[in-house]
A and B are shown apart, each in its own frame.
Chain A
Amino acid sequence: MARYFYYHVLYVGMINIMLFVPSILEQHRFNGAVSAMAIAIVVGTILAYVTTSLFLRFPGMGLADIYNNLMPRGIAVALNLAGSVVWMLAGILVIYSYSATIQQFFNPDMNPYLFLLLMTIAGIWGASRCTRTVQFAQEILLLLCAPLILMILLKAIFSPWLDWDAIRVTSGYVRTTPSFISFCAATFIFAGYNTLAVYNRLLPKGTKIRFRWITPLFCTFFLFVSFFIPIGFHGTVGVGEHIYLWSETADSMILEYGFVYRVLYLFLLLYTALSLMFVMNTWHTAMEFIKACRPKHTSQPEQFPVPRANWWITIAFAGITFLYSLWTNEHRNQWVNENWLIARAITDFVTVLLLGWLAIRKIRKNKSTVQLETATQDS
């Protein structure tokens, strides 16, 4: 079922706009973003390939199950809790950024918590479903909005108002030393493979994920588009002035014969679906991590009706979202986003190392049991 895997890769590549990835890259455009992006493409591709290969060695097991089975209990619980925090924060940050954007562009007089409430309710409902349902909902949502998003992106690329000189000037800064935060931000675009942390449970033994070259291809495309298109529309200098960078970029295009004149509204509508999809996935994953902390937990990717714990955990996430929005403001939110991107990159590396170590141990164990068996047969 390789296609479900690629849906995740696709939407994570597209949601980067809501997580300040382009903004962070643009801030460092003259001091290290371009070179960091070049490195991130290589590292991201390798990470994606290695992580998926490692997950396929543990068929039917999520990351939490792997920890629980192969590691001491205390460490497994700690790792699961850490994972749930990182995943939950991803959803919260996207919900908050998106509702702030909506409030800014649709109606500034609106009560900001109203939209947050609507988004979190949808998030609660979506995330509390069982893993299989979430995966199917994912497919429907992505098939609905991906063509239109692709249309907007292609419209931007082929726009005569796109300034290729500005893009070329910026790309010349590939000779600068890369900056760490830009590197962390750029690797996020490749992070779609991480959703295997839960969805690996749905992959039966012997599954092969084919066409893995798609991941670097699509992700590099999204990385370049989300970095260079705003530069082409706002200039090498002007691009640093915008807070809602991509909304402004979408606003610089016209649907001349369409029923909506400003592309902005279509763009925001599409990102509603994408944000909900992202929240549904991240909260679902975080929820599964927390559930895996219980002793004697067994994973059940398909169950109906869903256990009550699902509801309570996701409602708690919604509560935390509200607390976050009370505490945060534009600057704090950006600070949290940057640190979250760094934390995410680090956990990514740690996960790969842990998984690699566990996989090697598993192979050795299998070998020794095989040797033991042959030895007993010999005697």
Chain B
Amino acid sequence: MRFRKTILILVLFTLTSTIYGCGFKDIDKRFFVVAMGIDRGSKPNTYRVTLRLAIPSSKIESGEAKTEVESYESPSIAEAVRHLKALVDKELDFGHCRVILFGKTLMETGVADPLRWLSRRRDIAMVAFMGMAEPDAFNILKLHPQSERYPGNALFLSFGSEGTESSFTLTEYLFDWARRQSETGKDGYLPIIRRDIDNNSYRIDRVAFLDKQKLRLCLEPQEAQLFNISAKHFEKSFIAVPYQGTRIVLALSKIKSHVNISNSEAPVVNYYIRASGFLEDSPQYLLEGNAPNIENLLQTEFNSQLEDLLYKIRDAGVDPYGFGLHYLAQYFGRSKEWEYWKKAYPTVSFRVHSRIVIDKSGLIK
């Protein structure tokens, strides 16, 4: 018995001697960073870091969410964040930082350093959303949409599948972007975030492609959707074709694709895609009897659109689809095959084989 008591006292003593104060700070002594923007500074080789901080409030109503935007310029991001601590009264906490934006000018010069900072920080979630802000991140983060119920949630809800699911909006996570920045045969993409014309909401309908260093190509909304369909299999999208003076709009509900790359002198990328959906807009009694014709029409239209897009992306010298990686995977290739592919990619030709099935015509004929 005495032995046990001694042990207990010993343990309690050591426990209390280590408790010298908690490392944790209370929640009301913390500023939660909900979004972060990184721009190029006004001087060369500087960064302008903008943080959007959530101010907690008991009122949860649209437009009532309060945020504070702080910005600082410094030669490195780490220094800028440390300086920003001097501009606020509470401890900064990046644990809830769910959106990270890069300014367009920064993208044009290269983003290797910001990426290193982001990967090194333990409290930056690898599932934070990434985006490119146009014209710059500061202007986007300053925007205060009326629809926000929680600080910053208008921006979160645009991505992923929590809020709106638009086929023009591409979602990119930090971990995916980081792997694309270093992967052989696969390049990164970022959704472009702009202010809407009425300055009251965001507009995220374009996509930017970058090679390992910097920005190379920006796509128009229509092309961005095509990329979303083909590369990301985004299912809530549509295909539209003109038809005898009106338009046929097919809403997609299921997309599958696979790629086969021939191992010839000039490689041919065969892109097989199978999509099915229902008609959302079409002339009356269109499907009666001539569904195969309509499907054919959609297929040829889709094939030519996608081939054009693939050639455009190839000519910009980027590979967001990861054809290079797929080539290596298909032939279990190594550095020799990779050298060959790098040389061959600018001349590679694409063949899209689509199979588009109209499941139904909606509620009316």
* Interface of A toward B, CB cutoff 8 Å: 104-105, 107-111, 113-114, 117, 121, 160-161, 163-166, 168-169, 171-173, 233-238, 241, 248, 251-254, 256, 261-262, 264, 308, 311
Q: How far is the CA of A111 from the CA of B330 in the complex (A)?
A: 50
Q: Say yes or no: B322 contacts A165, CB within 8 Å.
A: yes
Residue among A105, A111, A236 with max Cβ neighbours from chain B (10 Å): A236
Q: How far is the CA of A252 from the CA of B329 in the complex (A)?
A: 23
Query: What is the distance, in angstroms, from A260's C-beta to the closest C-beta of chain B?
Result: 12
Q: Mark B74-112, 1 if CB is under 8 A from A, else 0.
A: 000000000000000000000000000000000000000
Q: Say yes or no: B325 contacts A169, CB within 8 Å.
A: yes
Q: For the A-B complex with A237-B184, A311-B3 known, give 11 more contacts whose Cβ atoms are closer than 8 Å.
A: A105-B122, A169-B329, A171-B332, A172-B328, A172-B329, A172-B332, A233-B179, A248-B126, A251-B125, A253-B127, A256-B162
Residue among A117, A161, A235 with max Cβ neighbours from chain B (10 Å): A235
Q: Say yes or no: B126 contacts A235, CB within 8 Å.
A: no
Asked if B292 CB lies within 8 Å of chain A CBs, one says: no
Asked if B359 CB lies within 8 Å of chain A CBs, one says: no
Total residue contacts A-B, CB cutoff 8 A: 100
Q: Say yes or no: B18 contacts A111, CB within 8 Å.
A: yes
Q: Say yes or no: B23 contacts A107, CB within 8 Å.
A: yes
Cβ–Cβ < 8 Å partners of B333 in chain A: 169, 172
Q: Say yes or no: B322 contacts A107, CB within 8 Å.
A: no
Asked if B40 CB lies within 8 Å of chain A CBs, one says: no
Q: Out of B15, B23, B179, name the residue touching A117 (CB < 8 Å).
A: B15
Q: How far is the CA of A311 from the CA of B7 in the complex (A)?
A: 9
Q: How far is the CA of A166 from the CA of B122 in the complex (A)?
A: 25
Asked if B24 CB lies within 8 Å of chain A CBs, one says: yes
Q: Mark B221-262, 1 if CB is under 8 A from A, else 0.
A: 000000000000100000000000000000000000000000
Query: What is the distance, in angstroms, from A33's C-beta to the closest C-beta of chain B?
Result: 15
Cβ–Cβ < 8 Å partners of B176 in chain A: 161, 252
Q: Say yes or no: A111 contacts B322, CB within 8 Å.
A: no
Q: Say yes or no: B24 contacts A107, CB within 8 Å.
A: yes
Q: Out of B24, B175, B325, name the residue touching A233 (CB < 8 Å).
A: B175
Q: How far is the CA of A234 from the CA of B180 in the complex (A)?
A: 8
Nearest A residue to B332, CB-CB? A172
Q: Mark B162-187, 1 if CB is under 8 A from A, else 0.
A: 10000000000101101111111010
Q: Say yes or no: A252 contacts B334, CB within 8 Å.
A: no
Q: How far is the CA of A4 from the CA of B352 in the complex (A)?
A: 55
Nearest A residue to B116, CB-CB? A241
Residue among A163, A169, A234 with max Cβ neighbours from chain B (10 Å): A169
Query: What is the distance, in angstroms, from B11's C-beta to the closest C-beta of chain A?
Result: 6
* Dominant SS among interface residues on chain A: helix
Query: What is the distance, in angstroms, from A62's C-beta to the closest C-beta of chain B?
Result: 26
Q: Say yes or no: B173 contacts A252, CB within 8 Å.
A: yes
Query: What is the distance, in angstroms, from B341's C-beta to the closest C-beta of chain A?
Result: 12
Q: Say yes or no: A262 contacts B24, CB within 8 Å.
A: no
* Interface of B toward A, CB cutoff 8 Å: 3, 7, 11, 14-15, 18-20, 23-24, 119, 122, 125-127, 160-162, 173, 175-176, 178-184, 186, 233, 322, 325-326, 328-330, 332-334
Cβ–Cβ < 8 Å partners of A264 in chain B: 125
Q: Say yes or no: A262 contacts B125, CB within 8 Å.
A: yes
Q: How far is the CA of A169 from the CA of B337 in the complex (A)?
A: 12
Q: How far is the CA of A171 from the CA of B20 in the complex (A)?
A: 50
Instruction: With A109-B23, A111-B20, A172-B334 as known contacts, state yes or no: A256 contacts B182, CB within 8 Å.
Output: no
Q: How far is the CA of A110 from the CA of B330 in the complex (A)?
A: 48
Q: How far is the CA of A109 from the CA of B23 in the complex (A)?
A: 6
Cβ–Cβ < 8 Å partners of A172 in chain B: 328-329, 332-334
Q: Say yes or no: A235 contacts B127, CB within 8 Å.
A: no
Instruction: With A241-B182, A254-B127, A256-B162 as known contacts, state yes or no: A168 contacts B332, CB within 8 Å.
Output: yes
Nearest B residue to A161, CB-CB? B176
Instruction: With A172-B332, A241-B119, A262-B127 as known contacts, state yes or no: A117 contacts B14, CB within 8 Å.
Output: yes
Nearest B residue to A125, CB-CB? B11
Q: Say yes or no: B18 contacts A238, CB within 8 Å.
A: no
Query: What is the distance, in angstroms, from B162's C-beta to the closest C-beta of chain A?
Result: 7
Nearest A residue to B331, CB-CB? A172
Q: Say yes or no: B127 contacts A121, CB within 8 Å.
A: no
Q: Say yes or no: B175 contacts A256, CB within 8 Å.
A: no
Q: Say yes or no: B179 contacts A114, CB within 8 Å.
A: no
Q: Say yes or no: A165 contacts B326, CB within 8 Å.
A: yes
Q: Say yes or no: B329 contacts A168, CB within 8 Å.
A: yes
Cβ–Cβ < 8 Å partners of B11 in chain A: 121
Q: Out of B18, B119, B334, name the residue touching A113 (CB < 8 Å).
A: B18
Q: Say yes or no: A169 contacts B18, CB within 8 Å.
A: no
Q: How far is the CA of A308 from the CA of B6 in the complex (A)?
A: 13
Q: Say yes or no: A236 contacts B184, CB within 8 Å.
A: yes
Q: Say yes or no: A256 contacts B161, CB within 8 Å.
A: yes
Q: Say yes or no: B179 contacts A104, CB within 8 Å.
A: no
Cβ–Cβ < 8 Å partners of A169 in chain B: 325, 328-329, 332-333
Q: How far is the CA of A111 from the CA of B184 in the complex (A)?
A: 41
Q: Say yes or no: B175 contacts A252, CB within 8 Å.
A: yes
Cβ–Cβ < 8 Å partners of A237 in chain B: 179, 182-184
Q: How far is the CA of A211 from the CA of B14 in the complex (A)?
A: 47
Q: How far is the CA of A350 from the CA of B11 in the complex (A)?
A: 39
Q: Say yes or no: B125 contacts A111, CB within 8 Å.
A: no
Cβ–Cβ < 8 Å partners of B329 in chain A: 164-166, 168-169, 172
Residue among A110, A173, A241 with max Cβ neighbours from chain B (10 Å): A241
